[in-house]
Structures are given as C-alpha cells and as structure tokens.
Amino acid sequence: MSQRVDLRFNDRPVRVPHGVTLFDAASWNGIAIDSTCGGHGTCKKCRVRFKTDPPAPTSLDVRAYTSAEIQDGWRLACRTAATTDADVEVPPLTTRPKAATVGVGRQVILRPAVRKRYLELDEPSLADQATDLERVLRAISDLAEKADLAVLRTLSRTLRDADFKVTAVVSDDTLIAVEPGDTTQRAFGLAFDLGTTTVVGTLLDLTTGTPAAVASMLNKQQPFGADVIARISATMLDPAAAGKLRELAVETLTELASAVCEEGGVRPAEVYEVALAGNATMVHLVLGFDPEAVGVAPFIMAARLLPEVRASDLGVPAHPQARAVVFPAFGAYVGGDITAGLLASGMDRDPRVRLFIDIGTNCEIVLGGRDWLTATAAPAGPAFEGASIRCGMRAADGAIEAVTVTGDGDLKLTVIGDTEPTGLCGSGLVDAVAALADAGLLDASGRFITEDEARIVAPALAARFATIGKERVFVLSGSVYLSQRDIRELQFAKAAIATGWRILLEDAGLTEEDVKQVLLAGSFGSYLSAKSAIRIGLVPGIGTRRIIAAGNVAGEGAKMALLSVRDRAAALALLEEVRYVELSDRSDFNDRFIAELSF
C-alpha cells in the first residue's frame, strides 16, 4: 500500500498519497485554493502557509514571495509536494472556484481537462514572423505546449477568416482545436456507464459542471447473453461474434450520444471529451480487444492502463480530436466500473471502514477506507436478475419489487407499474424470502416447513403453499410463486457474497461491527430493502440506517473524471492502493460458503 501523509488544511485533517502537490491534495478533499492557471505554476495565486517546518522554497517561491514571507512559511501550493505531515493555512479565496456536487455527495472543484480560451491575436507582420501555431501557443503558454496535427489543417484559414479572434480548445496540455470567434461558453463532455445490461449516457456542461441531458437504454449486446461469460463464450464459439459485439456496443453508445446531444441542443463537435466506465469485458469488447483470456483462468486482461484512447475509437460522435478516458480495472472481475464507483463514493478519502458492494451476476466487494482498501469478486450468479428464478423477471412493469407482511399476517406486494403481477424481480425475491424466514415458514437451512407446521406458525400464510408438478411452492399472487429451488438459488447467491465480505473482514482483523457503512452500488442496490438484505445475511447486520443505496456510482465516477483532472488522477492512484483478494484461490472458500447458506 502506498505511503500516506497527514495534512491539516485550516485545521481540517486529510490523508493524502505521499508526493502529491498540496494543491491537488486540497482539491481532492474539496478544499479550494486560489488559482487561475489550474496548478501550472504560472498564476502565483495558490498561496498557502506552513505553520511549522516549511519545506525548502522552490525557485518559483523565491520569485513569488518576499524573503520575509518565505521565512514565515509561505509557499505555492501547486509547486509543493506533500512529503511529510504538515499543518497548513489556506487564505480565503479571492476568486470563487466553480464546484459541482457529484457522486455520493462529493463536492468536485471544476478543473476539466478540456479548457477554452478566447484570444484576440496580433496579426503577423514583417516584424512579427511567428508562425500561426507559434502565435496561438504563445498566447496560451500556461495551458498548452503542443498541438494536434489536425489543428494545422484548418488553422491558417480559421485565423484569417476570423480576423485572428479565435477560441483555443485545449485538452490536458495539447491544443486540439482553434475555433472562430468566442465559443468559450460551449464545452461539453459525455460520460458513459457501459453496463452489461444497461448503458447510461450523460451530457455534461464542462463550464458549469451540470448535466445537460441524461439517457439510458439496454445494452444492444443482450442477444449474445445476459452476462459477461455468455458474451465471452460467444466470441470463442464464433469468430465473427467479437466484431458483432463491438458493433452493438458502439451502436448503443452512438444512439445514447445522439439522444443526449439532441435533447441538450448540443452539436457533437462541441463534445470535446468522453469518459467511460465499464467492467473489463465490456471495455475489451467495445475497444475490439479479444476477451477470451478474461473469461478463462487465470483471467488475464489485455491491459490495465490503456494507451491514449480517442472518442472515435469508441465510435462515439464527438469532436474529431476528442479524447476518451476509460477507467482502468483492478482485475478481470473488478473492473473500471468499480474504480469509478470507488471514486464517486469517496472510499479512498473517508477514515471510516466502509463496505462497497455492487450486486450483480458477478458481485464486486471492496472493504476499507482512506488508509487501506481490499477488493474481491464473488460469483453470485443470476438470481438477483431473476434469470434462474422460476417466476423471475427483470425489474420492469409487472415485477413484484417489494414484499411485506401486513399487521394481520398476510402479504402486501408492491408491483412495478401498478399492474397485475407477472413475475418477481431481484429486490422482490430478497423481500419474499426475508418475509418467509421472518414468518417462520423456512427453517434455518432454507427449507419450507410442512403445511401442518405452517398452519400453526403463520395461519394467514399457510394456504399459500401449493404443489406445482412435484415441487412445493409458495404462491405470492395468481401465477407468481416462489419455489424451493428459487430459495436455494438465492441462498447460493447471498452465500457467495457474504463469504466474500467476511473473508475481507477477517483478513483485515475486523468483524461486522467494525463496518460503519455499507454502500450498495448499482440500480439493484437502490431497490433492495436494507431490512431484508440484513435479514437474509446478504450484508452485515449493522442497522438499516447504515445501509446506503449509492445509486449509479460508476456513471458518477465517469462524470467526475470529466469535471476534474485531479479526481481522474485519484482514480488512477486507486489502482496502486487497492489490494485484490482472489476467492477461488482460497482453500477455505467452500467450507465458508456452506456455512453462509443458512438464514
């Protein structure tokens, strides 16, 4: 695990990776320091004072401060690395930085990689023979030092047609476009959460940090199977499938991009950056990498950190020079969507021990806080998506999404779309099993009790037992029922997940009570009843108020990457900080799994 440094900014303690600048350290923690150059060392506004033991001044400090100020501990925050614990004073702001609330209540100070500046340039003359590019770069020396080749194809004409009044568009430190006139108020980015099932696209206004439009749709790869293993298998069986899967992912992203651009009144050429969070398989497929090695032991990805990716590599309609930020994965089964989710939920900044669980066919689990993080993946199977459940269905109209026992001991069902129930989705399944267990209709091993016993322990529910074929079932409503096998499926899924977090806790020398909060990521987490999740042992029994639905944190992380280069860097730093625990390696996994099956 990387070394950390304890800092205090105006008496507020923060813990940051060793070696980051004080400017970045403050910004990551939502503390604003004055700046107009964004940390490039040119504005000299990022004044901070070390209350004790200031580090040696840099050559820029010597130019920015008087010797008395240097003596007094004043330094430029963007030039000073955090190498030892320090108590630092940050003066009140003279300019108000723009900030946006993203992720799980995270305040992000706006510092996108994409920046625009309006320029009124001197026209060339015999006395000023600078080339067109030199002329532009000279005017934005604090922003960019190089240019994309494509800029030069139109630069000369653009400058002259616009009377040398142009807007420079910079991505990181590279000039990517020069536009006629003042377009500084028009800069957009597209954030994608590329899920195996659902894909969400958000169009972000990079000048304000606010979403201009959001849309979601099912991943068009669905016909190739519901989960990543099915899709990888498809590529192994048919050499043409990988190409088709790529096309379908690109089509999905393109449709979403077009929809949000239209809704937001934005031309694709005004989208200068794209961020994408997805699991390792989705990223392999959309970029055209062979996913086979991800699907078979020892589960190896083509790359963890990717070379520069352009929006055009993802097939997304955007400015031709737009870059794409693709979140890196920890491993084949803890992907970039989890890296993005950890960023959005601030797992690496919070001193509390928290548990992050993203429930799906493959369930990703991360435990820890700002000092340490460990992660694992548990094969939960498709029960929560309704795939292996007799009356299972997706969370769509007609699905029973919640089940409670009423005061008179009967059942109350909540159905999506307020229609006749046609099936049971994941959250309804968890509720139904928890309700049956609470009513005493299941024994500890998960088996239905006999009808005679049921008439004694829960008379209002006993009549719901029936036999379909040779199987005993519990009827929820009309044709929707829960079979003994369904309960077994849920037991397997919850046991895999519970084994995962218990192993992480034990490895850290902790118990359930040490967990201060559970964050349930993803859409399933939003619908799951905390009470039922605790009842069946899916999450630690730490009280319902501490079980938090974190929402679409992968998409939120992608938005943060567009709005803040510092948060983007923090996501990369996570790769170094998270220790991965492989469950399939553990000789004790099976015994523990069996122990977790009971309710």
Q: Are strands 465-468 and 471-477 parallel, antiparallel or unpaired?
A: antiparallel
| Residue 270 φ/ψ region, left for φ over 0, alpha for ψ in the -120 to 50 degree band, beta for the rest | alpha
In the complex with ligand FES, which residue's Cβ is closer, 42 or 222?
A: 42
The DSSP secondary structure of 461-511, one letter per residue, reads HHTTEEEETTEEEEEEETTEEEEHHHHHHHHHHHHHHHHHHHHHHHHTT--
30 binds ligand FES per the rule CB under 6 A: no
Alpha carbons within 13 A on the beta-carbon side of 453: 9
Report how far residue 543's alpha carbon sits from residue 540's, in angstroms, rounded to the nearest whole number.
8
Please report how close the Cβ of residue 76 comes to ligand FES at its closest, in angstroms: 5
Beta pairing partners, 547: 518
In the complex with ligand FES, which residue's Cβ is closer, 76 or 391?
A: 76
Q: Secondary structure of 219-242 in the HEC alphabet?
A: CCCHHHCCCHHHHHHHHHHCCCHH
DSSP state at residue 387 = T
Judged by CB under 6 A, the stretch of 37-45, 226-234, 309-317, 535-543 that binds ligand FES is 37-45
Report how far residue 529's alpha carbon sits from residue 535's, in angstroms, rounded to the nearest whole number.
10
Please report how close the Cβ of residue 346 comes to ligand FES at its closest, in angstroms: 24
In the complex with ligand FES, which residue's Cβ is closer, 34 or 273?
A: 34
In the complex with ligand FES, which residue's Cβ is closer, 45 or 319?
A: 45
- Per CB under 6 A, the list member of 30, 41, 211, 541 interacting with ligand FES is 41
Please report how close the Cβ of residue 60 comes to ligand FES at its closest, in angstroms: 7
For the chain, the C-alpha Rg in angstroms (whole number) is 27
75 binds ligand FES per the rule CB under 6 A: no
Please report how close the Cβ of residue 38 comes to ligand FES at its closest, in angstroms: 7
Count residues near ligand FES (CB under 6 A).
Answer: 12
Report how far residue 276's alpha carbon sits from residue 559's, in angstroms, rounded to the nearest whole number.
9
- Per CB under 6 A, the list member of 5, 31, 45, 324 interacting with ligand FES is 45
Please report how close the Cβ of residue 75 comes to ligand FES at its closest, in angstroms: 10
In the complex with ligand FES, which residue's Cβ is closer, 46 or 377?
A: 46
Please report how close the Cβ of residue 111 comes to ligand FES at its closest, in angstroms: 10
Please report how close the Cβ of residue 74 comes to ligand FES at its closest, in angstroms: 12
- Per CB under 6 A, the list member of 14, 20, 78, 373 interacting with ligand FES is 78
Please report how close the Cβ of residue 144 comes to ligand FES at its closest, in angstroms: 15
Judged by CB under 6 A, the stretch of 41-49, 322-330, 472-480, 524-532 that binds ligand FES is 41-49
CA distances from 471 to 394, 466, 531 (A): 24, 8, 29
328 binds ligand FES per the rule CB under 6 A: no
Report how far residue 567's alpha carbon sits from residue 379's, in angstroms, rounded to the nearest whole number.
30
* Contacts for 95 with CB less than 8 Å, ≥ 6 apart: 34, 36, 45
- With vertex at residue 294, the alpha carbon angle to CA 288 and CA 298, rounded to the nearest 5 degrees, is 150
Helix H or strand E encompassing 204: strand 198-205
Judged by CB under 6 A, the stretch of 36-44, 88-96, 118-126, 217-225 that binds ligand FES is 36-44
76 binds ligand FES per the rule CB under 6 A: yes
In the complex with ligand FES, which residue's Cβ is closer, 75 or 135?
A: 75
46 binds ligand FES per the rule CB under 6 A: yes
Give per-residue burial for 21-45: e unless 16+ CB within 10 Å, then b: bbbbbbbbbbbbbbbeebbebebbb
Please report how close the Cβ of residue 44 comes to ligand FES at its closest, in angstroms: 5
In the complex with ligand FES, which residue's Cβ is closer, 70 or 130?
A: 70
Please report how close the Cβ of residue 577 comes to ligand FES at its closest, in angstroms: 26
In the complex with ligand FES, which residue's Cβ is closer, 26 or 249?
A: 26
In the complex with ligand FES, which residue's Cβ is closer, 9 or 224?
A: 9
Contact in structure between 461 and 416 (CB atoms under 8 Å):
no
- Per CB under 6 A, the list member of 5, 27, 44, 275 interacting with ligand FES is 44
Please report how close the Cβ of residue 133 comes to ligand FES at its closest, in angstroms: 25
CA distances from 295 to 227, 279, 291, 298 (A): 11, 12, 7, 9
In the complex with ligand FES, which residue's Cβ is closer, 23 or 188?
A: 23
Nearest partner of 98 among 584, 577, 563, judged by Cα:
563
Please report how close the Cβ of residue 42 comes to ligand FES at its closest, in angstroms: 6
| Residue 288 φ/ψ region, left for φ over 0, alpha for ψ in the -120 to 50 degree band, beta for the rest | left
- Per CB under 6 A, the list member of 37, 475, 569, 575 interacting with ligand FES is 37
In the complex with ligand FES, which residue's Cβ is closer, 22 or 378?
A: 22
Position 307: which residue type?
P
Q: How many CB atoms lie within 10 A of CB 455?
A: 13
39 binds ligand FES per the rule CB under 6 A: yes
Using CB under 6 A as the criterion, which residues of the chain lie in contact with ligand FES when the complex forms? 23, 35, 37, 39, 41-46, 76, 78
